[in-house]
């Protein structure tokens, strides 16, 4: 198993190129199940989750040629319709194949994803919406068994909660359904927007893209002709490196980034004292003199993302004053707190709210990554902790950050990947 050895640095300097978004790539790869042609996808991040989904599709009979940041997925030879436990247990987003496989083949089995470190993460809303579209669903021996005896039919779906992969799943199912599906309370995340835009460009009429009400005009089983496209930049990776700039009071420039997707993150960093120069697809964060405390509530896009909560919590340990961070999406997403406390952070947890007393001098030690974003919070803390920090179990980090240690080394961080 690999771990990261990190020493603190006076400051960082230079340019970091942002990779394609993991959370956009996953539904876009799953979408290739709806295509009659080979789907060319560019600007994919080199992360384990992408390889896992491509392996899942290969196991089902698709061919996936992955070279650098490009993949060509051909699902015309896909014949298996069962996503087995061995893959789904390593990546919950495997559930994204349910909608498209069911829509194309009329049946699908997917292992139940179960809970994960940050919460229970049910998929009841995905299943309820598919049932409304005419699917018969049974849960048997840990598997979701879905069938559509009469094909999927468009209908009116109202999500009780905003669900990102739930919206993506239903949009993909609706793309091949008969008639019009409307989704009220749809996710507006940029990753869902890109999925809708690519489907729309492939002949599936979708209205309301980027709003909470989507209307998808299904093709009644006709497979799609999907043209080559490039995945949007990863806003969470970008946000994490902006936090690296803020916590080390450094000047860093991010390239291949979409500033529009980072509104809430940039605004909170401004409240904390950072200043920016922003162009169409670059963001430069300038060194701040002092880090100010902040109040954050995680919510759905375009509000502050839960996927940036852990990184801001690490940053708040270096603010002069008391920060309050409330997590509203996932019930157990504070696993990084106890590790940060071991480094000397003064954090009090009360239910879904963390109170961070800054500024605390952090001290390097051995810490354990517990989930993807928690891992990057520990890396950020290590950049300013005295002495040496060893971040263990970084397989979490490798699921979603493309070449993290290389990107940080290139801007002057003292970080090495070693074997346990």
Nearer to ligand UD1 (CB atom), residue 48 or residue 415: 48
Q: Is 20 helix (H, G, I), strand (E, B) or coil?
A: strand
Q: What is the C-alpha to C-alpha distance for residues 92 and 56, in angstroms, rounded to an integer?
A: 12
Q: What is the C-alpha to C-alpha distance for residues 30 and 53, in angstroms, rounded to an integer?
A: 8
H/E element holding 167? helix 164-176
CA–chain centroid gap for 372, Å, is: 9
Nearer to ligand UD1 (CB atom), residue 93 or residue 397: 93
| Selected range binding ligand UD1 among 114-122, 272-280, 379-387, 401-409, rule: CB under 6 A | 114-122
By the rule CB under 6 A, 97 interacts with ligand UD1: no
Query: Nearest distance from residue 311's CB to ligand UD1, in Å?
Result: 13
Query: Nearest distance from residue 224's CB to ligand UD1, in Å?
Result: 22
In contact, 377 and 310? CB cutoff 8 Å: yes
Number of residues that bind ligand UD1 (CB under 6 A): 20
Q: Where are the beta strands (DSSP E) in 8-163?
A: 13-17, 39-42, 63-67, 70-74, 82-83, 107-111, 136-140, 143-147, 156-158
Which residue from 30, 174, 14, 188 is spatially nearest to 103, judged by alpha carbons? 174
In contact, 339 and 365? CB cutoff 8 Å: no
Query: Nearest distance from residue 121's CB to ligand UD1, in Å?
Result: 5
Given 116, 155, 196, 363, which residue is catalytic?
Answer: 116
By the rule CB under 6 A, 306 interacts with ligand UD1: yes
Pick from 73, 97, 130, 329 the residue near ligand UD1 by CB under 6 A: 329
Pick from 42, 136, 161, 205 the residue near ligand UD1 by CB under 6 A: 161
Q: Is residue 196 annotated as part of the catalytic site, yes or no?
A: no
Query: Nearest distance from residue 84's CB to ligand UD1, in Å?
Result: 19
CA–chain centroid gap for 59, Å, is: 23
By the rule CB under 6 A, 164 interacts with ligand UD1: yes
Residues 6+ apart with CB under 8 A from 23: 93, 164, 189, 191, 234, 236
Nearer to ligand UD1 (CB atom), residue 122 or residue 321: 122
By the rule CB under 6 A, 99 interacts with ligand UD1: no
By the rule CB under 6 A, 125 interacts with ligand UD1: yes
By the rule CB under 6 A, 330 interacts with ligand UD1: yes
By the rule CB under 6 A, 307 interacts with ligand UD1: yes
* Beta strands 388-392; 366-368: pairing state: parallel
Q: Active-site residue numbers? A: 116
Binding site for ligand UD1 (CB under 6 A): 23, 26, 93, 119, 121-126, 161, 163-166, 191, 306-307, 329-330
């Amino acid at each position: 198993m690999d771990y990261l050895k990190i020493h603190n640095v006076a400051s960082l300097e230079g340019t970091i190129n942002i990779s394609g978004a993991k959370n956009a790539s996953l539904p876009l790869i799953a979408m290739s199940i709806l295509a009659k042609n080979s789907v060319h996808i560019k600007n994919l991040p080199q992360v384990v989750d992408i390889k896992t989904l491509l392996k899942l599709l290969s196991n089902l009979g698709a061919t996936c040629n992955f070279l650098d940041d490009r993949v060509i997925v051909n699902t015309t030879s896909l014949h298996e319709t069962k996503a087995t436990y061995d893959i789904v247990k390593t990546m919950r987003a495997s559930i994204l194949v349910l909608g498209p496989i069911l829509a194309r083949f009329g049946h699908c089995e997917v292992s139940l994803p179960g809970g994960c470190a940050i919460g229970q993460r049910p998929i009841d809303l995905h299943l309820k919406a598919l049932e409304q579209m005419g699917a018969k669903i049974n849960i048997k021996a840990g598997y979701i068994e879905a069938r559509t005896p009469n094909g999927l039919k468009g209908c009116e779906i109202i999500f009780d909660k905003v669900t990102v992969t739930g919206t993506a799943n239903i949009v993909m199912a609706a793309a091949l359904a008969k008639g019009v599906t409307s989704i009220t309370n749809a996710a507006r995340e940029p990753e869902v927007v890109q999925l809708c835009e690519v489907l729309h460009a492939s002949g599936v009429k979708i209205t309301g893209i980027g709003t909470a009400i989507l209307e998808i005009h299904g093709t009644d089983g006709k497979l799609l002709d999907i043209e080559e496209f490039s995945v949007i930049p990863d806003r969470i990776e970008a946000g994490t490196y902006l936090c690296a700039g803020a916590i080390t009071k450094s000047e860093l420039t991010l390239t291949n980034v979409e500033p529009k997707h980072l509104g809430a993150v940039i605004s909170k960093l401004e409240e904390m004292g950072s200043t920016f120069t922003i162009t169409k697809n670059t963001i430069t964060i300038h060194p701040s003199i002092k880090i100010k405390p902040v109040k954050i509530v995680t919510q759905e896009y375009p509000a502050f993302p839960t996927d940036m909560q852990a990184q801001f919590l690490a940053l708040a340990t270096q603010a002069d004053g008391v920060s309050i961070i409330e997590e509203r999406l996932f019930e157990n997403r504070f696993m990084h707190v106890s590790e940060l406390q071991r480094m000397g952070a003064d954090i009090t947890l009360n239910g879904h709210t963390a109170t961070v007393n800054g500024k605390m001098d952090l001290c390097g030690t051995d810490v354990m990554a517990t989930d993807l974003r928690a891992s990057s919070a520990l890396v950020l803390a290590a950049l300013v902790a005295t002495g040496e920090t060893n971040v263990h179990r970084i397989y979490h980090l490798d699921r979603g950050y493309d070449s993290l240690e290389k990107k940080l080394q290139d801007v002057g961080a003292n970080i090495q990947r070693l074997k346990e």
